Amino acid sequence: MSDGCGAPEQTAVVTGEDTGDQVVVAGKVTGGEGALGGAYVRLLNADGEFAGEVQASPEGDFRFYAAPGEWKVRALHRSGNGEATVAAAGPGLHQVTIAVA
Amino acid sequence: MSREDVLVTTQWAEENLNTPGVVFAEVDEDTTAYEGGHIPGAVRIDWKTELQDPVRRDFVDKEGFEKLLSAKGIAGDDLVILYGGNNNWFAAYAYWYFKLYGHDKVKLLDGGRKKWELDGRDLVKEVPDRPATNYKASDQDLSLRAFRDEVVDAINTKNLVDVRSPDEFSGKLLAPAHLPQESAQRGGHIPSAVNVPWAQTANEDGTFKTADELKELYEDAGLDTSKATIAYCRIGERSSHTWFALHELMGLKDVKNYDGSWTEYGSLVGVPVETGSNGGK
């Protein structure tokens, strides 16, 4: 198990990636000129309750290990904010893009 | 105690980067953030390798803390401004830890690294060279720290505040959602604990809510503020954040952080565990 609580390095998803029994909500933050790095990405459950936060990689990648359900991902960046929703039915990779404006 | 006694704003921080007697320290578990850029003049404290004993699951001892702060160039009368990533979780842990060892002149940067970045303020890579000091710490103030037996005894008698996310509280998740869900521990929470996730004490930009907002939050959650309170999470850093909210911002007198938290409690043999959501039995 992890003995810390900090987020692991945020890496890009690989199409067809095997997540085992993990429900992975992952994707990219984009801005006006493509991928936007360094945004703070928050995972909120269907009630809007905060579940987790990571800082996107320089390439805009983020990743959460969630549970099945409806999720909202919200990105905060000095250039603006953005959000998107994703439905994660079960284990596997659930991809979502967040456009920041 | 007012908010200004325990928190500084990012604006104050920027205006005091070169003030003599003020030392900025970034505290993180993953210190690569510091290497990529930090507040000008800030020293680095590694939560894992410098604040934790390398062998036992405990803090570095008093002598170890003295050695660490001496090497960082921090003096006993310096005002230390702590900040970090993860909404100041590890910085709040360090704040509690500094208080535990008797360093009173310590404040948190409200909003931490996130607020500083969202403000678009400068980060630098230059590592400061501070001359070593001869730091002297006090013995641990155990009125701030709870151990497992006291936590078991607190069931149904003291306030127990579980500050993890609702899904961790109920047992659905075993770790925060940014971490793989791998764990050998049982899921659930300590019986009689109320679930007030740490995130509810903070605004989206990482700054703390006001004392009045915090009072309303905990009263709505059913916390009897006349009773002693113990906060816990998974490994004790999110609950340091809540300890800060309860003890430093709301001014409650008897608040302890249980740093053993769920990774310890959820592995104890013979203790009661509850599952289900807030108020559920």
Given B140, B168, B198, the domain boundary residue is B140
pLDDT at res. B33: 87
Which of B46, B119, B41, B117 is closest to B81 using CA atoms?
Answer: B41
Is B271 domain-assigned?
no
* In a shared domain, residues B54 and B180: no
Look at A1 and B212; give whichever has higher pLDDT: B212
* In a shared domain, residues B225 and B161: yes
Is B160 domain-assigned?
yes
Classify residue B2 as exposed, middle or buried by CB count within 10 Å of its CB (0-12, 13-18, 19+): exposed
Instruction: Residue B35: count other Cβ atoms within 10 Å of its Cβ.
Output: 11
**Of B233, B245, B246, B249, which one is the catalytic site residue?**
B233
Given B98, B120, B140, the domain boundary residue is B140
Is B233 catalytic? The answer is: yes
A78 touches chain B (CB under 8 A): yes
Q: What is the mean pLDDT of residues B23-34?
A: 89
Q: Which residues contact B270 (CB under 8 A, 6 or more apart)?
A: none
* In a shared domain, residues B133 and B186: no
Q: How many CB pairs under 8 A join A and B?
A: 98
Task: Provide the residue count of chain A.
Answer: 101
Q: What residues make up the domain containing B194?
A: 144-265
Which of B183, B197, B171 is closest to B275 using CA atoms?
Answer: B171
* In a shared domain, residues B107 and B149: no
A24-83 residue pLDDT tens? 999 999 998 899 999 999 999 888 888 889 999 999 999 998 889 999 999 999 999 999
List the structure tokens of B3.
């908010």
Given B123, B140, B157, the domain boundary residue is B140
Choose the mutation target among B164, B178, B233 for the interface with A, i.e. most A CBs under 10 Å: B178
The domain limits of chain A are 23-99
* In a shared domain, residues B173 and B100: no
* In a shared domain, residues B150 and B123: no
First to last CA, chain A: 37
| CATH, residue B184 | 3.40.250.10
Tell me the three state secondary structure of residue B220: helix
Instruction: Give the integer Cα–Cα distance in Å for B229 and B85.
Output: 26
* In a shared domain, residues B259 and B148: yes
* In a shared domain, residues B101 and B153: no
B169 min Cα distance to partner chain A (Å): 11
B83-141 residue pLDDT tens? 998 899 999 999 999 999 999 999 999 999 999 999 999 999 999 999 999 999 999 99
Which among A1, A2, A50 has the least Cβ separation from residue B165?
A50
Classify residue B1 as exposed, middle or buried by CB count within 10 Å of its CB (0-12, 13-18, 19+): exposed
How does residue B166 score in pLDDT terms, banded at 50, 70 and 90? Answer: confident
**C-beta atoms of B176 and A51 within 8 A:** yes
* In a shared domain, residues B130 and B196: no
pLDDT at res. B279: 54
Tell me the three state secondary structure of residue B151: helix
* In a shared domain, residues B108 and B149: no
* In a shared domain, residues B132 and B167: no
Q: How many domains does chain B have?
A: 2
For residue A99, list its beta bridge partners.
A30
What are the backbone dihedrals phi and psi of residue B39, each rounded to the nearest 5 degrees, phi first? Answer: -65, 135
Classify residue A99 as exposed, middle or buried by CB count within 10 Å of its CB (0-12, 13-18, 19+): middle
B132 touches chain A (CB under 8 A): no
Homologous superfamily of A23-99: Carboxypeptidase-like, regulatory domain (2.60.40.1120)
Report the greatest alpha carbon distance in chain A.
Answer: 39
Is B274 domain-assigned?
no
Instruction: Give the integer Cα–Cα distance in Å for B92 and A65.
Output: 25
Q: Which residues contact B213 (CB under 8 A, 6 or more apart)?
A: none
- Does the structure show a pLDDT above 80 at A17? no
Is B246 domain-assigned?
yes
